[in-house]
Amino acid sequence: MSAGIFVDSSAWIALSDKKDENHTPARRFFSLIFTENGQVVSTNHVIGETYTFVCHRLGYSLAQQFLTSVRESQRLKNIFVSREQEEKAYGLLARYRDQRLSFVDATSFVVMRENRMSECFTFDRHFAAVGFRCLPS
């Protein structure tokens, strides 16, 4: 594995929701990341998207637990998406219009490329469609 692995909303959600079909593989893989790798990377956009989803689907309490855990984590590098990165994301949305990417996904792709990251902890097929290695595989 690389020096860090990007964590997408789909992975955070699977970790948070015990009823999610990917919950068990997500928990196993997340434990492996910390054993072998140590650092995870995400963005303020991904964390915001996850918080909103968890709050609406699982309730305010679990959403707050999620925020607390990411805010207090010593192993999470939270990258704040810049205006320039958002501008690059607009270009990706146009380039991959056939994929119907979310804006958050597009900003994630920009951040990953700029940080030379090739691996992503995700259950979202769009990451593979644009060339990233999705884990767990």
Q: Which fold has domain 5-81+117-135?
A: Rossmann fold (3.40.50)
Q: What is the pLDDT of residues 43-76, one digit of tens each?
A: 999 999 999 999 999 999 999 999 999 999 988 9
Q: What is the pLDDT of residues 100-134, one digit of tens each?
A: 899 999 999 999 999 999 999 999 999 999 999 99
Work out the pLDDT band at 34, boundaries 50, 70, 90. confident
In single-letter form, the type of residue at position 22 comes to N
Whether pLDDT at 9 is above 50 = yes
pTM score, whole prediction: 0.93
- The structural domains of the chain, with segments of one domain joined by +, span 5-81+117-135
Q: Is the dihedral of CA 115, 47, 20, 93 positive or negative?
A: negative
Both structure tokens of 57: 């689907």
Residues paired with residue 43 on neighbouring β-strands, in sequence order: 79
Report CA Rg, the chain.
14
